[in-house]
Structure 1
Amino acid sequence: MTESEFLVAAEATLAALEAALERANDNDELDVECSRRGNVLEIEFIDNGSKIIVNSQAPMQELWIAAKSGGFHYKLKEGVWRNTRDDSEFFSALSTMVGEQGGTTLQLKP
């Protein structure tokens, strides 16, 4: 994958994630505030002040997540972002992290 292709895929993923979280907030499913600076999406849980940070790393062609449960790296494989250690899917894993930190069940999808 070229760097340009990676940047397009990463941007689309971050934009979709931000939109999904904002919809969940608007629908009172989750009390969260998202802020975006370039390739970094910061998700703050209003009730407890905890955060999840999602960012793209172009040199590595990875998306990184930093959450209370740890740090995770994802590479795009056949159109799906997969954890570089356990092959778990990005949106599924992030749904679990959001649930743990936000205290609610939310299914994020690509």
Structure 2
Amino acid sequence: MTESEFLDLSDSVFAKIEAALDNSGLDVDTLLSGNVLEIEFADHSKIIVNRHAANQELWIAARSGGYHYRLAEGVWQSTREAGEFFADLSQAISAHAREDFHF
């Protein structure tokens, strides 16, 4: 995939995250700045979702740790473990918000 294709695809991921959070009713604020999407919770904790164009990866930084994902067969799979991006991000959001959240 070209860098331009990756950027378009990751823009779609960021839009999906923001839309899901807007529709969830959770008390969160999002800020998209360049390659970084910050999700801030009522307790001022944050989850950072970052796109790394050089590696064509999406990264999550949360209380539970840091995670890297690469697109494989249409799914953002963890590069280190057996995780999937949206499932892992759902768990992180649920933990930070102290409420159930799913995409």
Q: TM-score, normalised by structure 1?
A: 0.89
Q: Within 5 A, what are the aligned runs for 1:42-57?
A: 42-46=38-42, 48-57=43-52
Aligned twin of 1:79: 74
1:15-41 CA-to-partner distances (Å, cap 9, x unmatched) read: 1111111111xxx3x111111111211
Report the 3-state secondary structure (helix = DSSP H, G, I; strand = E; otherwise coil) of the residue aligned with 1:100: helix
1:48-71 CA-to-partner distances (Å, cap 9, x unmatched) read: 110000010000100011100001
Q: TM-score, normalised by structure 2?
A: 0.95
* Residue 101 (structure 1) aligned to one of 87, 96, 99: 96
Aligned twin of 1:21: 21
Kindly indicate whether the alpha-carbon contact (under 8 Å) linking 1:40 and 1:54 is maintained by their aligned counterparts in 2.
Answer: yes
Q: How much does 1:87 deviate?
A: 2.9
Root mean square deviation, CA, Å = 0.9
- Match for 1:21: what amino acid? L
Could you list the structure 1 runs, at least 4 aligned residues long, displaced by more than 6 angstroms after superposition. Answer: none
- Between the aligned residues of both structures, percent identity stands at 52
User: Partners of 1:87 and 1:13 in 2: how far apart?
Assistant: 20
Report the 3-state secondary structure (helix = DSSP H, G, I; strand = E; otherwise coil) of the residue aligned with 2:92: helix
Q: How much does 1:6 deviate?
A: 1.0
User: Partners of 2:80 and 2:14 in 1: how far apart?
Assistant: 21
User: Partners of 2:50 and 2:22 in 1: how far apart?
Assistant: 17
- Match for 1:6: what amino acid? F
* Residue 60 (structure 1) aligned to one of 44, 55, 59: 55
Aligned twin of 1:39: 35
